[in-house]
Amino acid sequence: MNPQPGIPSSDRELAEAVLRGGEERAFRALYRRHSPRVYQLALRLLGGDVREAEDVTQETWLRAIGGLERFRWEAAFGTWLGRIAVHVAKDALRRRGRGREDLWDPELEFETTEPIPAHSAAERLATRIDLERAIALLPDGYRAVLVLHDVEGWPHQSIASELDISVGTSKSQLHRARRSLRALLVPAAEEPA
Amino acid sequence: MHDDELTASEREALRALPREASPSDLLEERTLQALVGRGLVRSRRRLPGAMAWMGAVAACLVFFVAGFGVGMRRAERPADESTFSPSATEGLAEQRPGSTLTQGAGEQTQPAAGEHRGLPAGAAMDTAGGLALTSTPANQKQRTQVVVWF
């Protein structure tokens, strides 16, 4: 099937066109539909590193298109793509020089330094920027769990499966991530004089 | 065990974070080229471009050869054959002996664009189009044939 511009095609139809005919237009349609979400997820998991996020996004598509034949359409294409992105991001985090044990080490404590001054609640945009900055400052392991659970809504079972950790580790990492995040976002009024 | 739950406002703030961001346009091209390189996607730019160029070159050669052949055939035709197009400009004029004066007379019609005729003997051919002049010896009644082509 040849997708026509302006005529919406389902993910499955587009994927079939890529798989059977290697159609460039079908790929571009899939890419433009799903890349913004994949890229944002990668960017947040990697603490705002644009270059690494782009590398993760590209690698995600390479693995997805290369594995299209094995995809059984039991989940939504976007969900499947997101899981691949998390897997690729996890590998990228590990390549940053830390071993597996360090990333989700239960003994690892994050010592917060200077909290980010919070703006008033009325300045929603500024609050959101502060929150993004605070998330980016978290250790890689804390950040990954917090982003997947509290931002993306993943259950601990899925997080543990994708990050190759236990459910207990996922929960404890989330607890510490939230505590660290709050410390980074101490409101200006509560800062010590 | 883990009683550090998010407050409603914290939960709302985290869920309100944007879920999409636009990567650079270069990333799309980079990703596409990587897929093309692995043979997973066919680029629709590369092959048609090469084919189009080859087709254009072939068409040019065909037109060139055809035009050359037509030109050669026309140049070889004798002047008195009825190949003169009625649309050609032609005139006959009688002159006094010795005169090389030419003038057009009689029926004159415009030749078709790009058409020219074989010239009578003694005529000079102006490939840019123009007048071909002939003259006859002084002891003969002079007939000057004017052929104009464009």
Which has more confidence, B48 or A183? A183
CB of B46 within 8 Å of any CB in chain A? no
Q: Which residues pair with B90 in a beta bridge?
A: B147
Of A99-108, A144-153, B19-28, which gets the smallest average pLDDT? A99-108
Residues A23/B41, Cβ–Cβ less than 8 Å: yes
| Shortest alpha-carbon distance between residue B57 and chain A (Å) | 27
Residues of A in contact with B39 (CB under 8 A): 22
Residues A130/A186, Cβ–Cβ less than 8 Å: no
ipTM: 0.81
CB of B33 within 8 Å of any CB in chain A? no
| Whole-number Å distance between alpha carbons of B53 and B65 | 18
Contact flag A23-B41 (C-beta cutoff 8 Å): yes
Chain position carrying tokens 């883990």: B2
* Structure confidence at residue B63 as a pLDDT band (50, 70, 90): confident
| Burial class (CB within 10 angstroms; exposed 0-12, middle 13-18, buried 19+) of A108 | middle
* Structure confidence at residue A6 as a pLDDT band (50, 70, 90): low
Of all residues in chain A, the percent with pLDDT exceeding 90 is 70
Q: What pLDDT does A103 receive?
A: 62
Who among A24, A36, A175 is closest to B21 (CB)? A36
B52-60 mean pLDDT: 82
Q: Which tokens is A88 given?
A: 């690729």
Global confidence as pTM: 0.63
Residues of B in contact with A36 (CB under 8 A): 20-23
| Shortest alpha-carbon distance between residue A32 and chain B (Å) | 8
Q: Tell me: the pLDDT tens digits for A94-110? A: 888 655 445 665 555 55
CB of A85 within 8 Å of any CB in chain B? no
Q: Residue A32 pLDDT more than 50? A: yes
| Shortest alpha-carbon distance between residue B48 and chain A (Å) | 13
Q: What is the DSSP string of B68-130?
A: HHHHHHHHHS-TTSTTS-TTSEEEEEEE-TT-------S-B-PPPTT---PPPTTPPP-TT-E
B32-61 burial: b if 16+ Cβ within 10 Å, else e:
bebbbeeebbbeeeeeeeeeeeeeeeeeee
Contacts with B, A 90-109, CB within 8 Å = none
CB of A118 within 8 Å of any CB in chain B? no
Between chain A and chain B, how many beta carbons pairs sit less than 8 Å apart?
96
Q: Which tokens is A191 given?
A: 């800062």
Q: What pLDDT does B113 receive?
A: 46
CB of B43 within 8 Å of any CB in chain A? yes
